[in-house]
Amino acid sequence: MFRLAAKMDARSKLLDAALSVIRHKGYSASTVDELCAAAGVTKGAFFHHFRSKDALGVAAADHWSETTSALFAEAAYHRHADPLDRVLAYVDFRKSLLQGGVSDFTCLVGTMVQETYETAPEIRDACDRSISGHAATLVADIEAAMAERGMVATGWTAQSLALHTQAVLQGAFILAKAKGGAEVAADSVDHLRRYIELLFGRVPASQPAHTSTSA
Amino acid sequence: MFRLAAKMDARSKLLDAALSVIRHKGYSASTVDELCAAAGVTKGAFFHHFRSKDALGVAAADHWSETTSALFAEAAYHRHADPLDRVLAYVDFRKSLLQGGVSDFTCLVGTMVQETYETAPEIRDACDRSISGHAATLVADIEAAMAERGMVATGWTAQSLALHTQAVLQGAFILAKAKGGAEVAADSVDHLRRYIELLFGRVPASQPAHTSTSA
DNA sequence: TTCTATACCGACTAGTTGGTATGTAGACTG
DNA sequence: CAGTCTACATACCAACTAGTCGGTATAGAA
C-alpha cells in the first residue's frame, strides 16, 4: 500500500494543526482538545496516533524538521558558485522569510524547547535534533569558504558559526515576539550578515567609514 | 511605616519563587498552587496580592527588571575609560554569568514572552520593557564608541546593535536549553564579541589570517 | 475600647485537563 | 462470508486548574 503524502489522515492533520497552535500559544498552553479541534479530528483519533501529548510534541518537532528541511533544500541560495555567497544568501533567505504575522515566521522548536527542556527530555532532544541538524547544513559551505581563503580560524569553528546563526535567528524571534513585529528581527539578521562579511574579510555593502585611527 | 526591603512578606516570597519556578518550567506549566508551595505561602495570600496569575506574570517581569538592573548597575564593566571597552566588557560580563545549571543563567522574560506574546499582552509588554530597557543601557556607550571613531554607521544604529546583543543572548539561551549546557551559549557570545570588535575596526584577539585576496 | 484596614488562611467550587474504555465502520484476509 | 485489523468516534473519569469566599490575626486610629 502506497502512503500518499497528499492523503490527509488524522495523524497528518494533527501534526499540521500542532505546528500552528503551538506556535501561537506555546506547548503547555496548547490543550489536546484544542489541537483536536484545530485539526478537525476527535480525541479518540489523537490518542490512537499518539501515546500522550508529549509524544505528539516529539512528533511535531520531527514533522517541523521535515517540513523545514524540504523548504531549505529546494531554496535558491544553494545555487551560488562561491561558498561564502551561499552562506550570505542563506542569511538573506532567512531574512526574506520574516513576513506576515509573528507566529507565521517564528520557530516551533525554539518555542517548545524553552518550555520543555527540563520537564520533557524527549521533546528537548527532538528540538535539539531539529536546530542542530539544520545548522549542520551550513557547515560544509562555511568550511569551504574558510578553505577558499586559506583561513585558519582560531577561537571558532565552522560548526560554532553555524550554531551562532541559529542563535541569532532564535533570539531575533524572541525580540519580534516582545515587540510584536518583524522589524527588530530583520535588523538582527542584518547584523548577522555584516558579521559574516567582516569575518571573511569582505567589506559590507554599507560599512561605516572610520576616520580616526584609535587603538 | 517604612517598608524594609529585607522584610520577606508573602508578595516578595511569591515574586522570588516565580522567578525560579517559571525559569524551570515555563509560565503556562507553572501552576498557582506550585508557585505558592515554592514560596511557602497559601493560595489566599497569592490572590490577596495578585488579581490573577497573569497579574503575577506582569509583576514577576517587573521584579526581574529590577533585580537585573541592580546587578548590571553595580557591575564593574562600567569602569573602563573607553566606551568600546565598556561595551566589550559588558559582553564579557554576560559570558561570565553563564555558570551553573541552565535555569540559573537563562532569562525569565525571554522565556515568558515566547508563551504569552499572543495570549497575554500585558505580560508581553512587561517582557518587552525588561528587554528593551536593558538594551537601552548600552546605547550611550555604543554611541560614544562610534563618535570617538568618527563613525557614521549606515544601515545600523547604536539602538539596533544594542538590541542585537540581546537577540544573541536570548538565542544563546535557547541553544543552551536544547543542548543542556552553557558551552554553546558561550560560543555564541564569543561570536558577538568578535562582531563588535570587527565592527569598530579593532582586530579580535585571535583573528584568523587571510592568505588570499579573493573578492 | 471599638472601628477599620491590611495581610493572610485554607476549604471549596466550577470548569478544564490529559487520558481511558468501549464501540464501530470499513478494508483486508482466509 | 466470518474473522481480524486499522482508524477512528463517543462517552466518560479522576486529577488538576484558577479563582472564590468566609473567616482570623494584628496593628493603628479614634
Average pLDDT over residues B156-161: 97
Q: Do A188 and B167 touch (CB under 8 A)?
A: yes
Which of the residues B31, B106, B118 would you substitute to probe the A interface, choosing the one with the greatest number of A C-beta atoms within 10 Å?
Answer: B118
List Cβ neighbours of B171 (8 Å cut-off, separation of 6 or more). A166, A167, A168, A169, A170, A171, A172, A174, B188
CB A130 within 8 A of CB A65: yes
User: What is the rounded CA–CA span in Å between residue B78 and residue B75?
Assistant: 7
Does residue B163 register a pLDDT over 90? yes
Q: What does the block give as the cell for B14?
A: 511569591
**For A44 and C20, how far is CA from C1' in angstroms?**
10
CB A139 within 8 A of CB A158: yes
Does residue B104 register a pLDDT over 50? yes
User: Given this model, what pLDDT does residue B213 score?
Assistant: 40
User: Given this model, what pLDDT does residue B7 score?
Assistant: 57
pLDDT tens-digit series, residues B54-83: 999 999 999 999 999 999 999 999 999 999
User: Given this model, what pLDDT does residue B212 score?
Assistant: 44
* Count of structural domains within chain B: 1
Question: In the complex, which nucleotide's C1' lies nearest to the CA atom of residue B7?
Answer: C7
User: Given this model, what pLDDT does residue B211 score?
Assistant: 46
* A147, part of any domain: yes
SS (H, E, C) B33-99: HHHHHHHCCCHHHHHHHCCCHHHHHHHHHHHHHHHHHHHHHCCHHHHCCCHHHHHHHHHHHHHHCCC
Q: Measured between CB atoms, does A100 come within 8 Å of chain B?
A: no
Sign of torsion, CA B88 B93 B194 A79?
A: negative
Q: Measured between CB atoms, does A186 come within 8 Å of chain B?
A: no
User: Given this model, what pLDDT does residue A205 score?
Assistant: 65
pLDDT tens-digit series, residues A45-58: 999 999 999 999 99
Q: What does the block give as the cell for A89?
A: 544568501
Residues of chain A with pLDDT under 50: 1-6, 209, 211-215
User: Given this model, what pLDDT does residue B116 score?
Assistant: 98
Kindly report the nearest CA distance between residue B2 and chain A, in angstroms.
36
A214 interaction partners in chain B (CB closer than 8 Å): 148-149
* A48, part of any domain: no
pLDDT tens-digit series, residues B189-200: 999 999 999 999
A179 interaction partners in chain B (CB closer than 8 Å): 128, 132
User: What is the rounded CA–CA span in Å between residue A143 and residue B208?
Assistant: 13
Kindly report the nearest CA distance between residue A101 and chain B, in angstroms.
11
Would you tell me which residues 46-75 of chain B have a C-beta closer than 8 angstroms to some C-beta of chain A?
A: none
Radius of gyration of chain A (CA): 20
Does residue B3 register a pLDDT over 60? no
* A30, part of any domain: no
List Cβ neighbours of B52 (8 Å cut-off, separation of 6 or more). none
**CA count, 13 A, side-chain hemisphere, A195:** 27
A161 interaction partners in chain B (CB closer than 8 Å): 191
B208 interaction partners in chain A (CB closer than 8 Å): 146, 151-154
User: Given this model, what pLDDT does residue A6 score?
Assistant: 34
Does residue B95 register a pLDDT over 60? yes
A–B: how many Cβ contacts below 8 A? 234
Kindly identify which residue of chain A lies nearest to residue B187, measuring between CA atoms: A160
Kindly report the nearest CA distance between residue B170 and chain A, in angstroms.
5
DSSP string covering B145-190: HHHHTT---SS--HHHHHHHHHHHHHHHHHHHHHHTSSHHHHHHHH
Q: What does the block give as the cell for B151?
A: 563613525
* B23, part of any domain: no
Q: Which of A75-84, B128-137, B171-180, B206-215 has the lowest mean pLDDT?
A: B206-215
User: Given this model, what pLDDT does residue A204 score?
Assistant: 77
Q: Measured between CB atoms, does B190 come within 8 Å of chain A?
A: yes
Q: Which 8-state DSSP code applies to residue B205?
A: T
User: Given this model, what pLDDT does residue A186 score?
Assistant: 98
Using a 7 Å cut-off to protein CB atoms, list the covered nucleotides of chain C.
7-12, 16-23, 28
User: Given this model, what pLDDT does residue A206 score?
Assistant: 57
Domain of residue B153: give its range.
61-199
Q: Measured between CB atoms, does A5 come within 8 Å of chain B?
A: no
Q: What angle do CA B65, B67, B17 make, to 5 degrees?
A: 100
Q: What CATH number has the domain bearing residue A178?
A: 1.10.357.10
A202 interaction partners in chain B (CB closer than 8 Å): 215
Q: Do B167 and A163 touch (CB under 8 A)?
A: no
* B138, part of any domain: yes
pLDDT tens-digit series, residues B136-149: 999 999 999 999 99
Cβ of A148 near strand D (distance < 7 A): no
* B132, part of any domain: yes
* A71, part of any domain: yes
* A55, part of any domain: no
At A178, which amino acid appears? A
Kindly report the nearest CA distance between residue B207 and chain A, in angstroms.
7
Q: Measured between CB atoms, does B180 come within 8 Å of chain A?
A: yes
